[in-house]
Amino acid sequence: MRKSALPVIFLLGALAAAAGDAAADDTSDFWTFMGEEAGNVTVASPIPENVFDSVSNVTVIDRAAIEQYDFASVSEALRTVPGMDVTRTYLMHNVPTARGALQEHYANKVLVMVDNVPMWNAVTGEGDLDRVDIDSVERIEVLLGPASVLYGSNALTGAVNIVLRKAKTEGAIGRAGGGVSSGAGVYGGALRVSRAGGLYARKDEDGSYMISANSRDEVQPSIAFRDETGVQHSVREYLDSRSASFSAAYGGSTLLINAFDSAQNYLGNSISLASGELFAEQKEAAAAAYSYSFAPSWGDLKYTAAYDWQRRNVPRDATDDVRSDIVGARMTNTLSAVTRLGGGCYLESGASYEYRSAQRYLNYDSNTGIPLDHNGMNDRGSKESSLYAQLGGESGDWKFLAGGRYTRNSKTGGNLSSRASLIRSFGDRNSLKAMFSQSFRAPTPFEQYFLTSTVTVVGNPDLKPERSETYELSYLTSFGPLFLHLTAYHEHYLDTIYRDLGDFTRDGVTYVNANHYRNAPGFGADGLELTARYAARDTGAFLTFSRVRGTRGDEHPIPASGALPASSSWNFKYSPDYTAAGGVSRQFGSFFAAGSFNLLGRTRTLRTSLGSQFWADLSAGYRSGNARHTLAVRNVTDREVQVPEYVRLRVVETLPLYTGRRLEYTFDYRF
C-alpha cells in the first residue's frame, strides 16, 4: 500500500464513525467543552474567553482529547494543531515551531508558559515543553500569531499555555498511574518503565490546591546513522524527564511552583560518532510565581512576581572530557489592570519589569573539574521593561480590541508592537475574525556573545531584535456535534536571527568558515489552516490541515564542504509543503479504542529533498471502576521518520524524528 493512502483510510474511518453516530449521540458533551471548558481560555486575554469570541487565533486541546487519543506528551498533542509543529535539531528534541518559522535549538520564537507564567532559559532562550508531564495537564491553549502586546519579547510567532489540572468542584480528586514499554522496536527487547506519577487536588469554599509528580522515560529504537565524517554506527536516542508542580489559590492569592530535570542524548555538537557514543546532556529548572488579585469598584487589578532558574550541563567534545555548565535565571514583576469604562468598553493596561541573568557558561575538564574558559558569556545580563494598553469592547454582535506595548531592552533598545482584532458573531457558535498583530524577540546572550577557543559558534553583539507582523482572517462555526475552524493569513518577518556558515569578523578578528549569527533580510509567507472536530457521547474524530508558502527573501549562500558542492539556505526551504493530522476514537461500553496520524509533506534539505513523512499511533483499553488500562502502539507503521538538518549546515542532510515501533501499556487509577 502506498504511504499516501494511509491518511485517507484514517479520514474515511473517522467520517464513517461520525456519520454512523450523528443521529444517535447526545451533543451535550461537545458543547460542555466548547461552552464551558473553552470559556476559560486566558492565553489571549486576562479576561476568560471561549474560542469563538477570543480576540486572537486560539486552539484548545482539552483533557478529554488528551485521554481519547492517548497523547503521550505535550509535544505529541501539539503536533495535531494546524500551524504548529514540534521538530528536532542535532542538539535538542521537542523544538516547537509555528507556521513554518523555524528556530534552532536555542531561539525562543514560541513562548512556553505554565498557568500563564512564561518559562524559558535566560542564557540560550528556549522554552521546554517537558516542564509539565501530560498527565498533569488540564488543557493546552495555543495562540498562533505574534503576541508581544500580551507578553513582550519571546512570543514572536505564538504562545503555548499549559494549564495544570485542578479540582473543578468542591471536594478532592486524585490519580496514580504508570506504564511500561518495549525499548527496541518491533515489540522486541526488555520492557522498561516508561512513565509513573500521581496527582492530588482539593477544592473547598476557602480555596484550592494541587500537587503532582511524574517521570517519563522515552527511548527510541536503534538505527544506523552516518555522521559527518562518514562513520556509521548503530545509535539510540533517549529522553528521560521528571517534573513536579504545586499550585494553590486562597482568597486573591495564587501560588505556582514547578521543578523539572531531564537527561537526554543527541547526535553531538559536530554530529560526529567516531566514539560510537551519543552526547549526553542534563537539564534542571525551578520556577515560582505568586499573584495577588483584587477587584476595586472600577475593575480588576493583579500583581505577579515570578522567578525561573535553569541549568544545562552539556558535553563539548566526543570524549566527554570537556563539558559546559550553563546557568541562567529570570526575575519578573508584572502589574495589570482591567478598567470598566461603561457602554460595553474596557481598558486593559499594565507594566512589567524583567531581569535576565546569564550567570555562568563555563567550560571545564569533566575529569578534574578545572575551569577552562567562559565562552565570552560570564555574568551577562539584561533588563527589559514595558508598558501596554488595549481598548476593547462589545456592541451587539460586534467585539473589538486594539492596543500596543512599548518595550525597552537594555541591550537592544526600544520596540513598539501593536495589535487589533474585530469579531462579528452570528449566534453563539459562529464568528468571523479579522486580526492584525506585531511582535519582536530580543537576541539572547548566547546569540550575542558566545565564543570559544575552538570557534564552534560565534556570537554577534550587533544583532537586532527579530520582528514579525501577521494579518489573519478566521471563521469558526459549530453545528450539531461538528466544529470547524478555518484561518487564512499573511505574515512578514524582518531581521530574523539565523545561524550562518562562512567567514565572519568580530572585534577585528575574522573567523573563517565558522558558524555565526546574523540578521536576515525580510521575507514573508501566506498560509491556510483548517480544523474539523467531531465530538459526541461515544465517538470523537478530528482532522487538521495546514499549508504555508514562504518567500526566499532570506536566502543566503552556504560554502562547499569537502566533496559536497556549495548550496543556499532560507527558512522555508526546510518547512514541509503541508502538514496534516487526524484521528478517531470510539467508546464501546467499558472498552475504548483510538487511532491518530501525522503527515508532513515534501520537504527540501540543504542539498537534496525529503519525501512526505507519515506515522500513526493506535490504542485500545478497558475501564473497570476507577481503573483504566490502555495498550498503545506508537509509530505502528514502523517507519523511520526524518526531518531536515537546518542548523549546522554542513554534511548531514536529515535527522531521525521517530525511528521505530514501540508497544506501551499504561495503568491509571482515579480516586
491 and 443 in contact (C-beta within 8 Å)? no
Phi, psi (5° rounding) for residue 135? Answer: -70, -15
What is the H or E stretch that residue 209 is in? Answer: strand 207-219
pLDDT of the residue at 482: 93
Give me the torsion for CA of 28, 31, 35, 41, rounded to 10°.
Answer: 130
SS3 353: strand
Residue 295 burial by Cβ neighbours in a 10 Å radius (0-12, 13-18, 19+)? exposed
Q: Which amino acid type is present at position 568?
A: S
Query: CB within 8 A of 9, min separation 6: which ones?
Result: none
Using one digit for the tens of pLDDT, what is the confidence trace for 538-579? 999 999 999 999 999 999 999 887 778 999 999 999 999 999
Q: Look up residue 383 and give its three cell numbers.
A: 533588563
C-alpha distances (whole Å) from 601 to each of 570, 636, 649 are 18, 19, 21
Query: CB within 8 A of 339, min separation 6: which ones?
Result: 298, 299, 346, 347, 348, 349
Distance CA 383, CA 287 (A): 19
pLDDT of the residue at 4: 43
pLDDT of the residue at 648: 85
124 and 446 in contact (C-beta within 8 Å)? yes
CA 314 to chain centroid, in Å, comes to 22
Query: What is the homologous superfamily of the domain 3-198+317-670 according to CATH?
Result: TonB-dependent receptor, beta-barrel domain (2.40.170.20)
Using one digit for the tens of pLDDT, what is the confidence trace for 335-350? 999 999 999 999 999 9
Distance CA 122, CA 126 (A): 8
570 and 610 in contact (C-beta within 8 Å)? no
Per the listing, cell 558542492 goes with 565
Query: CB within 8 A of 507, min separation 6: which ones?
Result: none
596 and 604 in contact (C-beta within 8 Å)? no
pLDDT of the residue at 286: 98
Q: Which amino acid type is present at position 491?
A: E
Distance CA 47, CA 43 (A): 10
C-alpha distances (whole Å) from 377 to each of 104, 107, 444, 455, 519 are 19, 16, 11, 14, 20
List 118's β-bridge partners, or say none. Answer: 113
431 and 425 in contact (C-beta within 8 Å)? yes
Per the listing, cell 501593536 goes with 418
pLDDT of the residue at 266: 86
Distance CA 282, CA 278 (A): 13
Distance CA 157, CA 470 (A): 9
- Please report, for the chain, the start and end positions of each structural domain, with discontinuous segments joined by +: 3-198+317-670
C-alpha distances (whole Å) from 411 to each of 173, 361, 486 are 47, 19, 40
pLDDT of the residue at 488: 98
pTM of the full predicted structure? 0.92
pLDDT of the residue at 276: 58
Query: CB within 8 A of 361, min separation 6: which ones?
Result: 123, 324, 325, 326, 327, 374, 375, 377, 378, 446, 450
442 and 519 in contact (C-beta within 8 Å)? no
pLDDT of the residue at 274: 53
> For the chain, first and last CA: distance in Å?
45
583 and 541 in contact (C-beta within 8 Å)? yes
Q: What is the 3-state secondary structure (H, E, C) of 112-156?
A: EEECCEECECCCCCCECCCCCCHHHEEEEEEEECCCHHHHCCCCC
Q: Which amino acid type is present at position 643?
A: V
List 505's β-bridge partners, or say none. Answer: 510
pLDDT of the residue at 10: 43
- Which residues of the chain fall short of a pLDDT of 70? 1-38, 183-190, 273-276
CA 586 to chain centroid, in Å, comes to 28
pLDDT of the residue at 16: 42
